[in-house]
Amino acid sequence: MTPEFRPVFSGGTGRSGTTLIGKILSRHESVLAGNPYEIKFLTGKDGLLDLVDGVPIPPTPGIIKIVHPVSHGRRIINLAQSKRNIAELERRILEDWWERPGKRGGTAGLQQGFSLPILNAEIEQLKLDYKRHPLCSSRNFFYRVVKSHKHFKNSKVYVDTTPTNIERSHQISELFQNALFIHMQRSGKDTISSVLSEPWGPKKPLVAIDWWKRKLQSANSATRQLGHNQYLNIRLEDLVAENRDETYKEILNFLEISDQEQINKYFTEEVDGNRAHIGRWRTDERLDSEFHSKFDRAVSELLDEGIAAY
């Protein structure tokens, strides 16, 4: 199927402003973002990307619907394993990603914006089509599910804010040739200070430095394979405090969408350095002298690899 919208993937280390991008862009009349901000079923473990991992990418960029034989010159699709993988994708969608606890109470997940009967029907269609068209069926599943969102209407841009989008951006770009990526980066010390309080993150400051470093290395490995017009790097500090207007315009220009009163009003009134907790690390007593020494070494090592970190 020919996509009627452009997928945009915001990502970063986690706690780096990826959701903020979604919140800002959701105020634009041509953009669908939120409910939920993170769909999970694309980049999550046993998600859609894992389903097509290793399936040969056809050498014809820009063509959305191509017939893929079960046997390919470089790889033979294991249909029995694929059936098990689709069953696991189905389980994850319906049991883990359909409904999950919200960060601030209540429930989040796909149930916020999608219809369960439609989602079930799309999964059944994926099962039927996958053995003949592994890539196309997976690609079309994503497009059809997104279009079924209750707030889709005539959206021209769809935004997902799953942090791992950037680490897997090269894989995503192979599946969706028209995808765009926004890499949100935040002060490493602020990121670590924030992550230490999350249930899913590392609990020790020195361990968190290694986690942060690996995330940046993975992001660099993936994004350097993207086209220059596919990728935009944004510093959270620039967006919320230091270079606000220019960074805001840069995002709109990158997505080729116009400024509008509603999105501008939200950005002006709701986005600022205090809400983003810029400089929070300065009052975090968990970050001691040993932490700062190791962090400075990590920054130096990343710079030696050509990776900008701060």
> What rounded mean pLDDT belongs to the chain?
92
- Closest-CA residue to 5 (of 129, 122, 133, 151): 151
Note the pLDDT tens digit of each residue in 183-235. 999 999 999 999 999 999 999 999 999 999 999 999 999 999 999 899 999 99
Domain ranges of the chain: 1-35+154-310, 38-150
Measured CA to CA in angstroms, residue 154 lies from 37, 38, 109, 112 at distances of 18, 20, 22, 19
Angle at the Cα of 110 (from 54 to 9), degrees rounded to 5?
A: 55
Once rounded to an integer, what is the mean pLDDT over residues 16-43? Answer: 97
168: phi then psi, degrees, rounded to nearest 5:
-115, 20
Angle between helix 134-147 and helix 116-130 axes, rounded to 10 deg: 170
256: phi then psi, degrees, rounded to nearest 5:
55, 45
pLDDT at 111: 98
Note the pLDDT tens digit of each residue in 262-307. 999 999 999 999 999 999 999 999 999 999 999 999 999 999 999 9
pLDDT at 57: 62
- Tell me how far apart the alpha carbons of residues 279 and 186 are, in angstroms, rounded to a whole number: 10
Q: How many CB atoms are closer than 10 A to CB 51?
A: 23
pLDDT at 105: 83
Terminal-to-terminal C-alpha distance of the chain:
42
- Closest-CA residue to 244 (of 222, 215, 273): 273
Once rounded to an integer, what is the mean pLDDT over residues 237-253? Answer: 98
Once rounded to an integer, what is the mean pLDDT over residues 147-168? Answer: 97
Fold of 1-35+154-310: Rossmann fold (3.40.50)
Angle at the Cα of 93 (from 89 to 95), degrees rounded to 5?
A: 110
Note the pLDDT tens digit of each residue in 48-92. 999 998 776 655 444 333 333 333 334 456 778 899 999 999 999
pLDDT at 64: 35
DSSP 259-289: --HHHHHHHHHH--TTTTTTTGGGG-TT--H
Residue 139 has pLDDT above 60, yes or no: yes
Once rounded to an integer, what is the mean pLDDT over residues 117-136? Answer: 96
- Tell me how far apart the alpha carbons of residues 260 and 175 are, in angstroms, rounded to a whole number: 31
Residue, of 45 and 60, whose pLDDT is higher: 45
Once rounded to an integer, what is the mean pLDDT over residues 25-51? Answer: 97
Note the pLDDT tens digit of each residue in 102-117. 887 889 999 999 999 9
164: phi then psi, degrees, rounded to nearest 5:
-70, 0
Once rounded to an integer, what is the mean pLDDT over residues 155-178? Answer: 97
Once rounded to an integer, what is the mean pLDDT over residues 15-42? Answer: 97
| Category of 162 on φ-ψ map: left (φ > 0), alpha (ψ -120 to 50) or beta | beta
